[in-house]
Chains A and B, each alone.
With several copies, the nearest count.
Chain A
């Protein structure tokens, strides 16, 4: 195993968080980090641990099929309410998306706490404002979202291509939002 490969392996292994190729480069010096990562990923195939890329950042993790051995408890790391789960999915598949658009899709208002939970988990961030009436604040997912859910990129979101093809990810047209959107606005029911 050549020195450069060893260096990339050691750096990735020692890091407490996923690293971009550039960040690895800062530690290992001159060399083709991307090629080394690809080579390492191949070498670790079939091992109990593997090298994965999530949104341009790389990390070591245990092989998914060994989950049964390692699962520490039946509890999910973070129990998400139905409202939070749907909201997270809507942001992931539609980003960047405003709160109004999330509410239009769900047909109910979202409570402040729902977005807070997702931001606190580090999966959702604010992503500027949309130019236009009201300049609504936009939401998008984070690199941690991809890491946590094991997605190499947003293109890996389950079924995203089919949904796109079916027009289900198109921006909501104004008329439809008005036709049914007022229902959301009139509702004062909390959603989680």
Chain B
């Protein structure tokens, strides 16, 4: 890169002038700036602009193809140059000097990173300058589950199994039921009034408790069968599941 630049300066007619080698306009600017002074903080932006524009003019004269971004930079630099040369406009914000300073800063940044990259590559790199062990045995970490369960968990689990599998133990809670004796007594007492066919439901006690009602129905049915056997009442049903009717015999 530096060689190209020297060629450009010392022998402007050399055809080695090329833009392909530059990584964009900023790269070219940086290279031109380095030609001015070693310390980038001391460069003259105006001079840099001149150099850049001259470089592009040469390239154009040699009919080299110039990528658009180089031309954009050229236009921008030409504008910056004119701003720097014109009488100061106090209203300009940022001022041309400030813009020039920023350009200088950008060149420094790029330069710093370029140098950092070179220093990084020059370090003692693993596999080039320093070497790790050629044939390591290798480490293996096997993860093993440490199963956790407390005695309580164990006993509770067995209790749960037992509770599930043991024949269920029936605890009979006091329930509202009508016993068969009660039903016989009640139906035989009421049948005397039933001259006409009367649905069995009419013989049940009035209740909102569905359990008592089911129990009373079942007991009353059995009571009706018993009383029919004794010849004290008659049973009739028009069809299966049709209402069951009773009347006195």
Contacts and interface: CB of A to CB of B under 8 A. Distances in A.
A131 interface: no
A88 B117 contact: yes
B86 interface: no
Contact of B126 (A61, A86, A92, A175): A61
Bin the interface of chain A by size.
Answer: 35 or more
B106 A176 contact: yes
A79 interface: yes
Nearest to B145: A78
A90 B158 contact: yes
Contacts, number: 292
Interface in A145-182: 147-151, 157-160, 163, 166-172, 175-177, 179-180, 182
Given A70-B138, A88-B154, A147-B126, A183 B113 contact: no
Contacts of B120: 85, 88-89, 92, 149, 157-158
Given A77-B128, A106-B23, A163-B162, A186 B153 contact: yes
B163 A79 contact: no
Contacts of B133: 13-14, 60
A106 B161 contact: yes
Contacts of A62: 130-131, 137
B2 interface: no
Given A70-B140, A160-B162, A175-B102, A93 B135 contact: no
B123 interface: yes
B124 interface: yes
Residue among A26, A83, A169 with the highest chain B CB neighbour number at 10 A: A169
Nearest to B121: A85
* Secondary structure type dominating chain B contacts: helix
A148 B24 CA distance: 30
Interface string B139-171: 111111111110111111111111111101000
Interface in B105-129: 105-106, 108-110, 112-121, 123-129
Nearest to B137: A14
A60 B132 contact: yes
B158 A75 contact: no
A90 B145 CA distance: 22
B158 A93 contact: yes
14 contacts: A13-B134, A14-B132, A16-B136, A60-B133, A72-B142, A73-B142, A76-B143, A88-B117, A106-B164, A168-B105, A168-B109, A172-B163, A175-B102, A184-B69
Interface of B: 23-27, 67-69, 72-73, 76, 94, 99, 102-103, 105-106, 108-110, 112-121, 123-149, 151-166, 168
Given A85-B149, A150-B151, 17 more contacts: A10-B131, A13-B136, A61-B131, A73-B143, A74-B141, A77-B145, A78-B147, A80-B149, A82-B23, A89-B161, A105-B106, A106-B24, A106-B26, A106-B164, A163-B155, A166-B155, A189-B69
